[in-house]
């Protein structure tokens, strides 16, 4: 079974493509129908909303929790950045918007700027203005020097290999006379041999 996420296109009020939902193949039951709808206007009209607002649901379920997280990417303007936005959902019980994922990331999808976040359930979503996630410590890549665990693993292996190589070279230089003669120099090498010979004769 393929592990490639299933892309679901999010359409705007004018029918244009304004985002994509990437659903892991094992996150919903096989054969599930995913519905994308426009919510009521009172949900859309909010000063925190910074993107298209849409409802996503699995047909036949009033609410649905995913077995693994889906990634939602929504188009943004040129001045909007992930660190200023969160992926938000509308809490129907409280009647207000809340941040679902404050660890959003800037991405370039189909030559358009987008901000992406993750969720483990389906409801009404939009990008919301947040207080910023720079100091929240939620950025997965911030803990990695190269930006990923695999990259850091390769970097660490290379550093260890280089250290071992340097140690081996140092040992070879110390114990092999020919190499030591080349490195240290013929004159110094001969002087040391003469001093050692005198010591051996004493």
* CATH classification at residue 26: 2.60.220.30
Same domain for 122 and 155, yes or no, is no
Counted domains in the chain: 2
Same domain for 169 and 109, yes or no, is no
Angle at 44 between CA 49 and CA 106, to 5 degrees: 35
The answer to whether position 133 is within a domain reads yes
Same domain for 99 and 49, yes or no, is yes
Quick one: which of 50, 54, 123, 46 has its CA closest to 86?
A: 50
The answer to whether position 166 is within a domain reads yes
Q: Is the pLDDT of residue 131 over 60?
A: yes
Same domain for 161 and 107, yes or no, is no
Q: How far apart are CA 104 and CA 134, in angstroms?
A: 11
The answer to whether position 14 is within a domain reads yes
Q: How far apart are CA 121 and CA 90, in angstroms?
A: 12
The answer to whether position 15 is within a domain reads yes
Quick one: which of 51, 57, 44, 34 has its CA closest to 87?
A: 51
Among 141, 169, 189, which residue terminates a domain? 141
Range of the domain at 177: 149-201
Same domain for 156 and 81, yes or no, is no
Same domain for 99 and 158, yes or no, is no
The answer to whether position 11 is within a domain reads yes
Q: What is the residue-averaged pLDDT of the chain?
A: 80
The answer to whether position 60 is within a domain reads yes
Same domain for 40 and 120, yes or no, is yes
pLDDT bracket for residue 143 (50, 70, 90): low
The answer to whether position 1 is within a domain reads no
Weakest-pLDDT range from 26-40, 76-90, 157-171, 187-201: 187-201
Same domain for 154 and 132, yes or no, is no
Among 96, 120, 141, which residue terminates a domain? 141
Q: How far apart are CA 197 and CA 202, in angstroms?
A: 9
The answer to whether position 20 is within a domain reads yes
pLDDT bracket for residue 115 (50, 70, 90): very high
Q: Which helix (H) or strand (E) holds 37?
A: strand 34-37
Burial of 42 (0-12, 13-18, 19+ CB in 10 A): exposed
Q: How far apart are CA 54 and CA 88, in angstroms?
A: 11
Q: How far apart are CA 109 and CA 45, in angstroms?
A: 27
Same domain for 121 and 153, yes or no, is no
pLDDT digits (tens, 9 = 90+) for 28-79: 888 889 898 888 777 777 788 889 999 999 888 877 889 889 999 999 988 8
Among 141, 169, 192, which residue terminates a domain? 141
pTM: 0.63
10, 52 contact by CB (below 8 A): yes
Query: What is the reported pLDDT for 136?
Result: 53
Same domain for 127 and 188, yes or no, is no
Same domain for 58 and 17, yes or no, is yes
Same domain for 109 and 154, yes or no, is no
Quick one: which of 64, 81, 63 has its CA closest to 127?
A: 81
């Amino acid at each position: 079974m393929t592990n490639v996420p299933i892309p679901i296109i999010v359409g705007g009020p004018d029918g244009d493509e304004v985002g994509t939902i990437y659903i892991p193949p094992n996150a919903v039951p096989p054969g599930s129908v995913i519905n994308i709808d426009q919510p009521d206007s009172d949900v859309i009209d909010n000063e925190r909303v910074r993107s298209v607002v849409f409802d996503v649901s699995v047909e036949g379920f009033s609410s649905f929790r995913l077995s693994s997280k889906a990634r939602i990417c929504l188009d943004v303007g040129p001045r909007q950045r992930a660190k200023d936005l969160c992926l938000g959902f509308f809490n129907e019980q409280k009647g207000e918007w809340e941040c679902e994922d404050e660890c959003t990331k800037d991405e370039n999808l189909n030559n358009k700027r987008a901000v992406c976040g993750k969720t483990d359930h389906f409801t009404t979503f939009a990008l919301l203005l947040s207080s910023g996630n720079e100091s929240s410590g939620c950025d997965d890549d911030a803990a990695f020097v190269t930006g990923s665990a695999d990259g850091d693993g390769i970097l660490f292996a290379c550093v260890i290999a280089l250290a071992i190589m340097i140690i081996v070279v140092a040992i070879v230089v110390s114990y092999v006379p020919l190499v030591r003669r080349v490195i240290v120099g013929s004159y110094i090498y001969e002087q040391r041999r003469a001093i050692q010979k005198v010591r051996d004769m004493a």
